[in-house]
């Protein structure tokens, strides 16, 4: 049944259609007859007793350079759409949090929002792994520089990262004999003012940081290995990593199947796990990506699988 879908995204002109997962979702939904509407988080507002947005109906082309046509713009309550998809990219700053508060209000009014805004707020993408310690490498979360130093002494080779960034920013690999060790710890923890995460370095990063997608509790059968460039220890595409699609390993499938049902029950329709070697390092829930890279290399219809799951949730 054709329906109106609202995508809350970054400015349309900033999206790179040749690799953008939200664009892939929109195209797959349009192919099934759904009407696609787009808005930015700045368009969200509460008026006359409901959460609404000024949104523009768009039609999508097959041209990645000139990928959409804009039509009419209307203000309507979010509950007037069959589904609302929160696809705004991080940073997860206060404005992002305020948007989730608005979306939670819309849910109370009857809107169907994915991923569920309450669940987005409750799942910091780095701290999300703490719920599943059986699948994580040795990890420390603290504001105390001395604890970080002791963790480095114990594990000899660690990765230290902030909790509020994406794309490989503010991630440092620190060895026990690193001459910059003290200053890195000082900068990251800001002398005890900022909470950070430290993890034992996983040497299998050389084979890639694997993005495993879970759609409504079920893993996509292919993952995307993001292989660091020479001399780099970050497996992020934004940091120059190479993307190679692969079938899931037995360990990756084990982790995805263990987490999938729990996360789906919380309204997390789409989740992206980051797995290095045998260990999970992040649980991404804000705007998981890698649809296009997997689709283009394997021909598996990730976006189609997603729209099928979305349609089931819309009933």
Give me the catalytic one of 27, 112, 200, 211. Answer: 211
64 has catalytic annotation: no
Give me the catalytic one of 124, 274, 292, 293. Answer: 274
Q: Is residue 310 part of a domain?
A: no
pTM: 0.94
211 has catalytic annotation: yes
User: Can you give the residue range of the structural domain that contains 188?
Assistant: 138-201
pLDDT, tens digit, 9 for 90 and up, residues 248-258: 999 999 999 99
Q: How far is CA 310 from CA 10, 215, 275, 277, in A?
A: 21, 9, 25, 31
296 has catalytic annotation: no
283 plus 258 within the same structural domain: yes
Q: Which helix (H) or strand (E) segment is 84 a member of? A: strand 83-86
161 has catalytic annotation: yes
143 plus 210 within the same structural domain: no
Give me the catalytic one of 87, 126, 181, 292. Answer: 126
234 has catalytic annotation: yes
In terms of Cα–Cα distance, which of 247, 249, 245 is closest to 294? 245
Q: Is residue 251 part of a domain?
A: yes
Give me the catalytic one of 20, 125, 209, 282. Answer: 282
Which CATH number characterizes residue 234's domain?
Answer: 3.30.470.20
Structural domain count, the chain: 3
Which CATH number characterizes residue 18's domain?
Answer: 3.40.50.20
272 plus 223 within the same structural domain: yes
Give me the catalytic one of 161, 181, 200, 292. Answer: 161
167 plus 251 within the same structural domain: no
Q: Is residue 305 part of a domain?
A: no
pLDDT, tens digit, 9 for 90 and up, residues 46-62: 998 999 999 999 999 99
Give me the catalytic one of 88, 115, 284, 293. Answer: 284
Q: Residue range 4-28: average pLDDT?
A: 97
Q: Is residue 215 part of a domain?
A: yes
Determine what percent of the chain is predicted with pLDDT higher than 70.
96
The answer to whether the CB of 6 falls within 8 A of the CB of 81 is yes
126 has catalytic annotation: yes
- Residue by residue, DSSP assigns 197-229 as EEEE--GGGGG-EEEEEEETTEE-SEEEEEEPP
292 plus 220 within the same structural domain: yes
Q: Is residue 307 part of a domain?
A: no
38 plus 87 within the same structural domain: yes
């Amino acid at each position: 049944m054709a329906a109106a879908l609202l995508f809350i995204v970054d400015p349309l002109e900033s999206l790179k259609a040749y690799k953008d997962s939200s664009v892939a979702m929109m195209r797959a939904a349009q192919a099934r007859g759904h009407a696609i509407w787009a808005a930015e988080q700045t368009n969200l507002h509460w008026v006359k007793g409901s959460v609404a947005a000024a949104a523009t109906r768009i039609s999508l082309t097959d041209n990645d350079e000139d990928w959409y046509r804009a039509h009419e713009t209307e203000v309507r309550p979010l509950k007037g759409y069959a589904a609302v998809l929160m696809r705004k990219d991080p940073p997860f700053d206060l404005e992002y949090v305020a948007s989730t508060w608005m979306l939670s209000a819309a849910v109370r009014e009857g809107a169907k929002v994915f991923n569920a805004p309450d669940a987005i707020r409750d799942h910091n993408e780095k701290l999300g792994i703490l719920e599943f310690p059986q699948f994580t490498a040795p990890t420390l979360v603290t504001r105390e520089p001395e604890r970080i130093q002791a963790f480095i002494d114990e594990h000899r080779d660690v990765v230290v990262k902030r909790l509020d960034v994406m794309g490989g920013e503010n991630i440092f690999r620190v060895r026990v004999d690193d001459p910059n060790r003290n200053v890195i710890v000082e900068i990251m923890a800001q002398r005890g003012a900022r909470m950070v995460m430290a993890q034992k370095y996983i040497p299998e990063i050389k084979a890639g940081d694997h993005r495993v997608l879970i759609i409504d509790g079920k893993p996509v059968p292919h993952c995307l290995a993001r292989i660091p460039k020479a001399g780099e220890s970050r497996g992020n595409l934004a940091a120059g990593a190479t993307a190679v699609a692969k079938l899931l390993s037995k360990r990756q499938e084990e982790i995805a199947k263990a987490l999938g049902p729990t996360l789906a029950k919380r309204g997390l329709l789409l989740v992206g796990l980051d797995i290095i070697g045998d260990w999970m390092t992040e649980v991404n829930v804000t705007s998981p990506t890698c649809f296009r890279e997997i689709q283009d290399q394997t021909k598996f219809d990730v976006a189609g699988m997603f729209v099928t799951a979305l349609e089931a949730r819309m009933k």
